[in-house]
Structure 1
């Protein structure tokens, strides 16, 4: 990949990567940092990454970076991120979107990731497998389980009322 293709990748993919990471971590600042780190990593690997694989590389790199950060936060605690996450959430019930957001929040990280990539970002099973490091069968199983959980969660009367 050359400099022009790298700049094209920044223009074409940065919003998608940011949206994906922001939905996962619920922190604007963390998502911005992770996207920036991912593009830095792409720049370091620019000679080895083809433009056609840049999007998958960015999603994969940002996903793994986010997992590392969240694991570190869970292990050591990060008091600064609590305020960021609180401001991103809506305290009042306003509709189905909030029910879906709360259902997504209750999913295990792997299931949440594959559902977001499939249903929100419209990736194929094969692309999701490349991004997450799972095989296609695992991706399909995780998506099925996540959708089944969300379906049951939405049917609960205490959630809707």
Structure 2
């Protein structure tokens, strides 16, 4: 991988990688650290990463770093309001919906949450997710099925309350 190819990867994938880390950790600083560490590892292992597999490599590294941080109990507990903005006048408040979805996702086990985010937010295939998480494709499908079932139950419980 040349410097130009690396720079292209940074410009192409840094935003998606950041959003993935931010949704998982809820901390701007932690998400930036994950992105920086992921790209550092890409550069350090540039000779071993196959051409065309850079995105999978980056998300795999980020996923594992996030799992490590969650296991160590370094989840963000600070003020999340700094990440929110008010909607423009006359525009719907999608932040409220986004926050509600985030709360629903937070009720899932970490692995299920990560798989849902990789599949539904980032568009990864089952095979790619299996490679990233070191699970079989069947296991990935089962975890996603269970996560979606749990989300339906959670949303159903909320509808019954409202």
TM-score, normalized by length of structure 2? Answer: 0.85
Structure-2 residue corresponding to 1:33: 33
- Equivalent residue, structure 2, for 1:47: 47
Distance 1:160 1:130 in 2: 40
Corresponding residue number in structure 2 for 1:82? 77
C-alpha displacement of 1:82? 2.5
Two-structure CA RMSD over aligned residues (Å): 2.3
Aligned partner of 1:62 in structure 2 is 62
Q: Mind listing any 5+ residue stretches in structure 2 that lack a counterpart? A: 86-94
| Equivalences for residues 128-143 of structure 1 within 5 A | 128-143=129-144
Q: CA deviation at 1:13?
A: 0.8
Aligned length: 154
Per residue, is there more helix in 1 or in 2? 1
After superposition, what is the alpha-carbon deviation per residue over 1:42-75, rounded to whole angstroms, capped at 9, x for unaligned?
1101111123111111001111111112222x2x
The TM-score normalised by the length of structure 1 is: 0.85
Question: Cα deviation per residue 1:84-114 (whole Å; 9 max; x = unaligned)?
Answer: 5575579xxx754333211100100100011
Structure 1 moving runs of 4+ over 6 Å: none
Q: Is the 8 A contact 1:27 1:84 kept in 2?
A: no
Compared with structure 1, are the counterparts of its residues 99 and 65 closer, same or farther at alpha carbon in structure 2 (3 Å cutoff)?
Answer: same
**Residue of structure 1 equivalent to 2:117:** 116
Please tell me whether residue 4 in structure 1 is matched to residue 4 in structure 2.
Answer: yes
Q: Taking structure 1 as reference, are residues 156 and 6 closer, same or farther at Cα in structure 2, changes over 3 Å only? A: same
